[in-house]
Amino acid sequence: MSVDVAVVGATGLVGEALVELLEELDCPVAELHLLASGESAGKSVPFRGRNLRVRELDGFSFAQVKLALFATSAEVAGEHAARALAQGCTVIDLSGSVDGALVLPALNPARLGELGFPALLRVPCAPAAEVAEVVAALRDCVELQELSLTACLSASQLGREGVQELARQTAELLNARPVEPRLVDRQYAFNLLGLVGAADASGYSAIERRLNAELNELLPELQGRVQADCLLAPVFFGDALNLNLRSAVPIDLSEVRAALEAAEGIELVEDDYPTVIGDALGQDAIQVGRVRQGAAGPCNLNLWIASDNVRKGLGLNAANLAALLIKHYL
Amino acid sequence: MSVDVAVVGATGLVGEALVELLEELDCPVAELHLLASGESAGKSVPFRGRNLRVRELDGFSFAQVKLALFATSAEVAGEHAARALAQGCTVIDLSGSVDGALVLPALNPARLGELGFPALLRVPCAPAAEVAEVVAALRDCVELQELSLTACLSASQLGREGVQELARQTAELLNARPVEPRLVDRQYAFNLLGLVGAADASGYSAIERRLNAELNELLPELQGRVQADCLLAPVFFGDALNLNLRSAVPIDLSEVRAALEAAEGIELVEDDYPTVIGDALGQDAIQVGRVRQGAAGPCNLNLWIASDNVRKGLGLNAANLAALLIKHYL
């Protein structure tokens, strides 16, 4: 009951976390193939006590595996996911660029029963997964009408290069050297960037479009009444989310607390606020605090959320989805 | 037509900026008295080419001055502002703790005509002043119905000690030493704090209560439909504000841009986003970018704002109010 699996983008921040999680969750993987684009091929990544060599993506035939996870840029996934499917391989895309079925294992695993295999699947971006999981846990006490989110993303949103950029800029500043932006177009150290990447004609970044679309898809009761904005904070890892919900009926805060307390995958931080450092990083649970009524009245609920974007927001969801697929569908 | 003036809290971040601005704006000050609490008394602060000695607040008689500006903690203002008024001195409070008339010179200077003098006055906190000034500039194109704000405040919100805390923690981390939080109760460097200070029983911090109350007072058309949340970003200076507005009628973005372009005290950053570093710090204009329709539809407007909280958000408003008072009312 195990199958051969490929992880594409195995040397990236998310790819490495994913390989770790496949091992940690005892995912029924027979042989694991690690793939990356040119410059990273040849490196090795540990898996079940062995160092697996990372191979070149371009020449790889996906006919060798039943399942491929794409922890790559949107460009790479866009280029290779369709080829993988054509070669008989089911795809889990983490990049948001593949037009497949959106599945968040904690929320809509039944979606898998409606599909034929091999199939193209995708998991939500980290903030969409985190918010949807929290909101879904509240469905008995919040009749969701509107959702407003300010997602403070971290350097890891830009991958390993983003983390290096923030570290380099910070060191330059603290050593009284001029800041030389490379990956971003301005000073990022000790600054807040109000846009993550480039904006389209409507003024939104790719991650904002993805976040809005995925929240609408995962929480269809919202019917478009979503506003999700992203900024990039000078923080290395983790998501910090300021979430406002509006319910059609007044909200009982003690019911909200009880629902969060009971939810698997969520940890309620009572009478305090969680932060990425100290609370969220390395954890498998989304940390939720500051449970309070909105200033606009009892139909409004506000929460402050911290989560490990790489591990919890993306990696765990993709690894759990892989395990579900292998056990029941492939 | 000039009067004697006192600045209380003259050695703080905001107090020093205020003294600078009184000089820069040619505010009709005859003699300037600089006051501070015990440990800071004895220091000196430059004003009009002289170094003025900072004196002890406790023993100071406000009968010597016509106007006193309190750039102090809420506690100090709460203790001394009433005494100043009783001694015949008009008070401008910057701390938000004094129960006086709220005046933002750019918005409601006519309020001064309704008052008898000496009087207790207060200016809004920096994010309230910044948001109210922007929203007021849009009154012809936005029929304001709801306002939602995530205010990313900086270390300077906690005064000079906040700036020092962030610098010290960052240096400790980059030198691989353990972080020792002092002013805040956890790691602040490379972390986002989801609450600025302590929360009350309703879950809000003092700055959030002040911000919500002042926005409601400055923008009465909102009638309580305000949600303003504050977080503390690991940034030294400046406010970065994610602002969502809902209008009763569809919003024409080109009218919004034209109104922002025309507004004194506001700078439109076209087709880009401003940041505190590089755009806002040291500037007298609030920087507004990312002018875009909200994801929820054409009645929604989203903006990204960066502003120098110390200079523009607080200091200029207080100094301009002082000038108005001296010229027309004292």
- Which residue type does A297 have? G
Q: Enumerate the residues of chain B whose CB falls inside 8 A of the CB of residue A242.
A: 150, 194, 229, 231
Same domain? For B147 and B292 the reply is: yes
- Kind and range of the H or E element at A208? helix A206-218
Same domain? For B269 and B322 the reply is: no
Give the pLDDT confidence score for residue B75 in this predicted structure: 94
User: For B216-240, what is the mean pLDDT?
Assistant: 97
* Sheet containing A44-47: order of strands: A44-47, A50-56, A29-36, A3-8, A67-70, A90-93, A120-122, A101-102
Q: Which residues contact B136 (CB under 8 A, 6 or more apart)?
A: B106, B107, B218, B219
User: For B297-311, what is the mean pLDDT?
Assistant: 97
Q: Return the number of other C-beta atoms located less than 10 Å from residue A87's C-beta.
A: 15
According to DSSP, residue A88 is labeled T
Interior angle at CA A237, CA A123 and CA A152, nearest 5: 75
Angstrom distance (rounded) from CA A329 to CA B31? 83
Give the pLDDT confidence score for residue B325 in this predicted structure: 98
According to DSSP, residue A125 is labeled P
User: Are the CB atoms for B162 and B181 separated by under 8 Å?
Assistant: no
Same domain? For B276 and B140 the reply is: yes
* Domain containing residue A50: CATH number: 3.40.50.720
Same domain? For A285 and A186 the reply is: yes
Residue A153's DSSP bridge partners are A232
Give the pLDDT confidence score for residue A281 in this predicted structure: 97
User: For B70-93, what is the mean pLDDT?
Assistant: 97
Task: Provide the chain B residues 122-161 that lie in CB contact (below 8 A) with chain A.
Answer: 146, 148, 150, 152
- Kind and range of the H or E element at A247? strand A239-247
Please, what's the b/e burial string for A270-304 (b: 16 or more CB within 10 A of its CB; e: otherwise)?
A: eebbbbbbebbbebebbbbbbbbbbbbeebbbbbb
Give the pLDDT confidence score for residue A39 in this predicted structure: 86
What the block records as the tokens of B23 is 């000089």
Does residue B309 carry a pLDDT above 90? yes
Give the pLDDT confidence score for residue A142 in this predicted structure: 97
Give per-residue pLDDT as tens, B50-76.
999 999 999 999 999 999 999 999 999
What the block records as the tokens of A296 is 């606009």
Same domain? For B302 and B186 the reply is: yes
Q: How confident is the model at residue B39 (pLDDT cuts 50, 70, 90)?
A: confident
Same domain? For B66 and B85 the reply is: yes
B interface mutation test: which of A196, A242, A257, A270 has the most B CBs within 10 A?
Answer: A242
Give the pLDDT confidence score for residue A154 in this predicted structure: 98
What the block records as the tokens of B285 is 């204009």
Nearest CA in chain B to A171: B174
User: Under an 8 A CB cutoff, do A226 and B295 touch?
Assistant: yes
B194: nearest CB among A234, A273, A300: A273
Residue with tokens 């889990």: A92
Give the pLDDT confidence score for residue B105 in this predicted structure: 97
* Domain containing residue A292: CATH number: 3.30.360.10
Handedness of CA B55, B57, B62, B63 (dihedral sign): negative
Axis-axis angle for helices B126-137, B253-262 (nearest 10): 120
What the block records as the tokens of B220 is 């009465």
CA B140 to chain centre: 25
Same domain? For B304 and B176 the reply is: yes
B275: nearest CB among A148, A191, A236: A191
**How many structural domains compose chain B?**
2
Residue A178: burial class (beta carbons within 10 Å; 0-12, 13-18, 19+): exposed
Integer angstrom CA distances of residue B74 from A308, B5, B152, B177, B310? 37, 20, 21, 34, 16
Angstrom distance (rounded) from CA B273 to CA A196? 10
Same domain? For B159 and B118 the reply is: no
Give per-residue pLDDT as tens, B108-139.
999 999 999 999 999 999 999 999 999 999 99
Same domain? For B140 and B264 the reply is: yes
> How far is the first Cα of chain B from the last one, in angstroms, to the nearest whole number?
9
Same domain? For A146 and A261 the reply is: yes
User: Under an 8 A CB cutoff, do B190 and A150 touch?
Assistant: no
Nearest CA in chain A to B242: A150
B interface mutation test: which of A177, A192, A241, A281 has the most B CBs within 10 A?
Answer: A192
What the block records as the tokens of B43 is 């220091």
Nearest to B36, CA basis, from B82, B77, B4:
B77
User: Under an 8 A CB cutoff, do A233 and B302 touch?
Assistant: no
Q: Enumerate the residues of chain B whose CB falls inside 8 A of the CB of residue A235.
A: 190-192, 234
Which residue range(s) make up the domain with B247? 128-309
Angstrom distance (rounded) from CA B274 to CA A231? 12
Does residue B38 carry a pLDDT above 90? no
Same domain? For A24 and A86 the reply is: yes
Nearest to A310, CA basis, from A330, A280, A273, A272:
A280
Handedness of CA A16, A18, A21, A26 (dihedral sign): negative
User: Under an 8 A CB cutoff, do A275 and B304 touch?
Assistant: no
User: Under an 8 A CB cutoff, do B242 and A231 touch?
Assistant: yes
User: For B84-93, what is the mean pLDDT?
Assistant: 98
Residue A70's DSSP bridge partners are A8, A93
B278: nearest CB among A186, A272, A278: A186
Task: Provide the chain A residues 270-309 that lie in CB contact (below 8 A) with chain B.
Answer: 271-278, 289-297, 300, 302, 304, 306
Q: For chain A, say whether B207 makes contact (Cβ under 8 Å).
A: no
User: Are the CB atoms for A30 and A56 separated by under 8 Å?
Assistant: no
Same domain? For B15 and B86 the reply is: yes
User: Under an 8 A CB cutoff, do B152 and A231 touch?
Assistant: yes
Nearest CA in chain A to B240: A192
What percent of chain B has pLDDT above 70? Answer: 100
**Interface ipTM:** 0.96
Q: For chain B, say whether A228 makes contact (Cβ under 8 Å).
A: yes
Residue B91: burial class (beta carbons within 10 Å; 0-12, 13-18, 19+): buried
Could you list the pLDDT tens digit for every one of the 330 residues in chain A?
Answer: 899 999 999 999 999 999 999 999 999 999 999 999 888 999 999 999 999 999 999 999 999 999 999 999 999 999 999 999 999 999 999 999 999 999 999 999 999 999 999 999 999 999 999 999 999 999 999 999 999 999 999 999 999 999 999 999 999 998 899 999 999 999 999 999 999 999 999 999 999 999 999 999 999 999 999 999 999 999 999 999 999 999 999 999 999 999 999 999 999 999 899 999 999 999 999 999 999 999 989 999 999 999 999 999 999 999 999 999 999 999
